[in-house]
Structure 1
Amino acid sequence: MKGLRARVGHDLIMFPTVSAIVLNDRGEILLGQRSDNHQWSVIAGMMDPGEQPADALVREVEEETGVQVTIERLAGVALHEVTYVNGDRCHMVNTWFRCRAIGGEARVNDSESIAVGWFAPDALPEMNAFALVRIRTSLEENAPAWFAQPGEELLTGI
């Protein structure tokens, strides 16, 4: 990404991304506190070229938190806008999945997070609206995958 940003500066770039709403046996949700803005959010990351979304998701969760997951279902897909503190503008096409933790111990496992933890759905830390949409749609039992309706505005936030 650094090479691409060196060519386009802060101009808008679109990226494919994935997010995981990871549940443990107590029904708690795995969240990470981001190192770039210190906000709590669901575990997420960019897909690598040639990588399937499900593979990217499993890789990102383990890389960032040390937790291994199994995917239970596709929960949604949407385009959302992100502007980073350095001025970089992105449109992220995010596919999110409801997952179940099957191994590992939750911990800060890379430089993208400053904290990782399990939270009860009724005791979540402050998060942006897009994180809450992903959590809400993932917790709905047997719901179809959520998507922005035709003409719906971009979702904003990191």
Structure 2
Amino acid sequence: MPISPYLKSLRAVVGPRLLLLPGVTAVVLDDAGRILLGQRADNGSWSLIAGVMDPGEQPAETVVREVYEETAVHVVPERVTSVLTQPPNTYPNGDRTEYVDITFRCRAIGGEARVNDDESLAVGWFAPDELPPLADLTRQRLEAALAPGDAAWFSTPAIRLD
């Protein structure tokens, strides 16, 4: 997976230590209600399209950029569907990350789905009842995005009254 110049500059200073990073995920639907997925080049699994924000970038701008960069599909973000912190991850090179992720439900408005960079092996549209195997966190994001209503899912904190 390519690393942004910003993240590369951070890694030059902090090395592989844990970085808390802002990220976005897109649940992209077409007019037929199909979901856009990418087969990841790093592990071969099918996943929603996601990426890390660049400095000065709004989350909705990031989701539009990432979907186009990875799939050549143009989207319009419609609403935030979940906000969560992913479990810590260690990459093969030893870099450790923990992502604070904002998931957007997006509508496809143009382009033809195809592999558009080196992050994916394949890209495709899937009916909700014909999805390939997906990680639990991906399924959680999908459920939140496909649920009726406009409320976003988030973990409810314990309330302390002391």
Task: Report how far residue 51 of structure 1 moved.
Answer: 0.5
Picking from 95, 116, 119, the partner of 2:123 is: 116
The question of 1:97 aligning with 2:84 is answered no
Picking from 127, 140, 144, the partner of 2:147 is: 140
Is this contact kept in 1: 2:79–2:150, CA < 8 A?
no
Aligned residue identity for 1:32: G
The question of 1:88 aligning with 2:95 is answered yes
Which ranges of structure 2 fall in alignment gaps of 5 or more residues? 1-6
Alignment TM-score, normalising by the size of structure 2: 0.88
Structure with bigger gyration radius: 2
2:60 maps to which residue? 54
Task: Report how far residue 40 of structure 1 moved.
Answer: 0.9
2:19 maps to which residue? 13
Task: Report how far residue 129 of structure 1 moved.
Answer: 1.3
Question: Secondary structure, in 3 states, of the residue corresponding to 1:22?
Answer: strand
Question: Secondary structure, in 3 states, of the residue corresponding to 1:122?
Answer: helix
Aligned residue identity for 1:55: E
Is this contact kept in 1: 2:74–2:110, CA < 8 A?
yes
Picking from 3, 27, 30, the partner of 2:36 is: 30
Alignment TM-score, normalising by the size of structure 1: 0.90
Count, aligned residues: 151
CA shift digits 1:45-66 (9 cap, x unpaired)? 0111010001111111111100
1:65 maps to which residue? 71
Aligned residue identity for 2:104: F
- Quote the RMSD (CA, aligned, Å): 1.3
Question: Secondary structure, in 3 states, of the residue corresponding to 1:102?
Answer: strand
Which ranges of structure 1 fall in alignment gaps of 5 or more residues? 152-158
Question: Which is strand-richer, 1 or 2?
Answer: 1
Task: Report how far residue 98 of structure 1 moved.
Answer: 0.5
- Structure 1: which 4+ aligned runs deviate by more than 6 Å? none
